[in-house]
Every structure is written in C-alpha cells, then in structure tokens.
Amino acid sequence: MEKLVIEGGKPLSGTIRIHGAKNAALPILAASVLAKGTHVIHNVPDLLDIQVMLHILRALGCTAEHRGETVTVNTTSLFSSHIPEELMTQMRSSIFLMGPLLARCGSAHIYQPGGCAIGERRINLHLLGLEALGAKFEESGNMLACRAEKLTGADIYLDFPSVGATENIMMAAVKAEGSTTIHNAAREPEIQDLQHFLCAMGARIYGAGTDTITIEGVAELAPCTYRIIPDRIVTGTFMVAAAATRGNVTLERVCPAHLTSVIHVLRRAGVQVVVDGDVIHVSCHGRPKPVERVVTSPHPAFPTDLQAQVMVLLSLADGFSIMKETVFEGRFKHVDELVRMGADIRVDLSSAFIRGVPRLYGATVEATDLRAGAALVIAGLAARGTTVVEQIHHIDRGYDRIETMLARLGAKVERHAFNGARAVTL
C-alpha cells in the first residue's frame, strides 16, 4: 500500500518521452498465443496490468520475459486454456485471451474479469460475437467454459462499438474458416495497432480505424517482431498536467493524430498546443478558459479515459463548463475528491457541472480508479499545499512510475510506503 505525496503549485517544465500504450500492448500480448514460436514486442510499458498479462501467459504454459521496453514471448509450449481465477479477477483485459485461446485450443475457461470499477462493464458483446463465430458457453459457478470445435466466419453487428469486443472478435476470426465482417466496430487507434500486429503475423484484416472491419481467415500464423504505438492517454494526461500547472512541457515519441479531439478541447480552454511531427509542446499562461460542453464518446470523439483529468483543468477555469460522460455510467468518482480539494462541481446523472475556482488546495484523497487517480495527481500538482493520493496501485496499472516522469518535469512528488517511509528516492 503506497501513496504519493505531492507539493503543489509548481509549474511543470521540461521534456519527457511517452511510453507505449497499455491498451494496445494488452490485446497484442494476448494475440501472441495465436502463433506458435517467439514474438518480440517493443515499447511495452512496465505496468501492473502488463505484469498480470505476462503471469497469465506463463500460467498457460508460455514463457514471457520483460526486459527494458521489450517483451519476448514464446507460445510454443502453451498447454492450458484455463485462466487462473486469481489472475483473471485482477484486470479486465484478461478477457482478451478468450478469442485467441478459442482460435488456438478450441476452448477457453474464464472467470468474471476484474478491472476499474467505473460502471457495469458487461461482456455480452464479446460473447455474442464469439457465439456468431461458433463458440458455445457453459457457466458453472464463477467459471465460464467456452468451446468451439470449429470457428466459422460471420457477419457481426455490435450494438455499441465496444473496444474489447471488437478486439476479441478480430482475434478469434483471424483463424476462422471464411470471412468475418464486424459492423459498428470500435475505431480506437489501439484497434489499428492490433490489426497491424495480426497482419505482421500473416493475418488478412482490413478496415481497422473505420466502423467496418473485414477478416479473411487464414490457416496458419507466424510469430513476429512488433513495436507498440505511444500511449495517447498518458500523453493526454501529461498535456493536461502541463496546462493545469501553467507549465511549459515538451512530450516526445507521441502520436498527435491520435489526440485530435483532445488537442481541440485544450485549445478551446486557452492552452497553447504546438504539434511538430512526433513531438507536442504544451504551455499555458494564466487561468484556463471554460469549455461550454465536453462530451466523451468512442473514438475519434473525446476519450472517456481523459474525462477526469480534463475536469481538473476545467475546475480551475475562469467560468462555467459542462462535462458529459456517455461511455461509462459510473465514472465520476473523482468528483467528491476534487470537491474536497476546493473544486466546485455538481453531478447530475451523466453530466458534471463545473464552476471554475481560482485555486485548489492540498488534501488527502483516494484514487478510486486508474484515470481518477491520474486526475487527483494533476489536481495535487496544481493545488496550493500538500496533497496525499492514496490507493495508488490503481495509477500503477496505467502509468509507468508516474512520480519519476513528473520529477523529470520538476514536480515535487514522492512515493511513500503506507507507514510514511519514503519508498522511492528521486
């Protein structure tokens, strides 16, 4: 149990490199089981969720090693399709193994996945898609046994463009007999990254990044070497941190094209954002401007994963803003904590009404989920006084040593063990 202790009020300044995308790396690691042999995957961040995925791969019989930014997975000796319950419940992304295991072994045994408590987070669309390909499901206690003697291509329409369901169906369909089309597919950049990885293994997939994805099944896939895209949510988090502290920050190794909606909202808030190839410069002088209405929606609209962070910026704006959340119903848990730091925010159903205040004040607050935790860190950096953020294991699921990255930008942030001892010397 560790916590972050933040001395706020210091503008961030300097340059950092952004690590690889968690949400791209997790399905890609799961997809590695589709081909026997050794895959080498670069730009994989060192995060709790990645460690859990590597544990699961090992439990299934693979070897998996994470050195620096590179993961090497050998999937030849995979002997089980039964994901251990204690690992499955640690993160939602364990669900990504369903499609690949069905394709490789003809079966997958899973449990209700864990992950951030940000809403109901059902898996019905995953199951409907896999069922259309020929999978059958049987529940016994907490366990769900999935079997498919044969997977056959199908025409699948998703009621909602679910990121995970789109990815699971793509991974199952690559080795199905015949052609699969996913209509109303999610269009997130991580889905394009998965298509590129699967195609590097020999799959035939077209259309990722649009709402119609076609997969022509192939008999065999081969292992490959691949590089994960930069993390757009980490990039966005640091852009907001720079703006909220009225700092001047350069972010390297990023993909600005994945952040169009975010750059648009920040510019409306009066933040200077300059894009130069794979580099973004962010600076902000004075109080941000309010933004009348920000609405989260599937890509390419404004991402739900940056809603909490941008809410911190708007809570410091010179006026009134509205933030509407349309993707997850339970995603305003950070509001109570921000109010404790002096923010003036009222939630009504899926909208937050934010009246900007001149400043926030340090407090002891609790990270309730990954992105809410990141938002509280930003609030602490911008606030006057000391902020203690507890329950930071949530933050470690998505940010590779956030305090080290922030320290490079001049922030005063320390990781302490729960008993108060300093855990990391910066």
Which tokens hold the place of 150? 């044969």
Q: Judge if the upstream peptide bond of residue 300 is cis by omega within 30 degrees of 0.
A: yes
Can residue 121 be called a binding residue for ligand UD1 (CB under 6 A)?
yes
Which tokens hold the place of 87? 């690992």
CA distance 115 to 97: 15
Can residue 157 be called a binding residue for ligand UD1 (CB under 6 A)?
no
Can residue 304 be called a binding residue for ligand UD1 (CB under 6 A)?
yes
Least distance to ligand UD1 from the beta carbon of 133, Å? Answer: 15
Can residue 119 be called a binding residue for ligand UD1 (CB under 6 A)?
yes
Can residue 408 be called a binding residue for ligand UD1 (CB under 6 A)?
no
Least distance to ligand UD1 from the beta carbon of 374, Å? Answer: 12
Beta bridge partners of 181: 155, 214
Restricting to residues 64-103, which ones interact with ligand UD1 according to CB under 6 A?
Answer: 92-93
Evaluate whether 8 touches 407 at the Cβ level (below 8 Å). Answer: no
CA distance 295 to 315: 16
Is residue 116 part of the annotated active site? The answer reads: yes
Is the CB of 137 or the CB of 361 nearer to ligand UD1?
A: 137
Candidates 369, 370, 396; CA nearest to 48 is 396
Can residue 164 be called a binding residue for ligand UD1 (CB under 6 A)?
yes
Restricting to residues 16-35, which ones interact with ligand UD1 according to CB under 6 A?
Answer: 23, 26
Can residue 122 be called a binding residue for ligand UD1 (CB under 6 A)?
yes
Which is catalytic among the residues 62, 105, 116, 146? 116
Residue 31 burial class via C-beta count within 10 angstroms: exposed 0-12, middle 13-18, buried 19 and up:
buried
Evaluate whether 370 touches 118 at the Cβ level (below 8 Å). Answer: no
Can residue 123 be called a binding residue for ligand UD1 (CB under 6 A)?
yes
Least distance to ligand UD1 from the beta carbon of 355, Å? Answer: 27
Strand runs labelled E in 363-402: 364-366, 386-390
Least distance to ligand UD1 from the beta carbon of 238, Å? Answer: 17
What is the contact surface with ligand UD1 in residues (CB under 6 A)? Answer: 23, 26, 92-93, 119-126, 160, 162-165, 186, 190, 304-305, 327-328
Residues annotated as part of the active site: 116
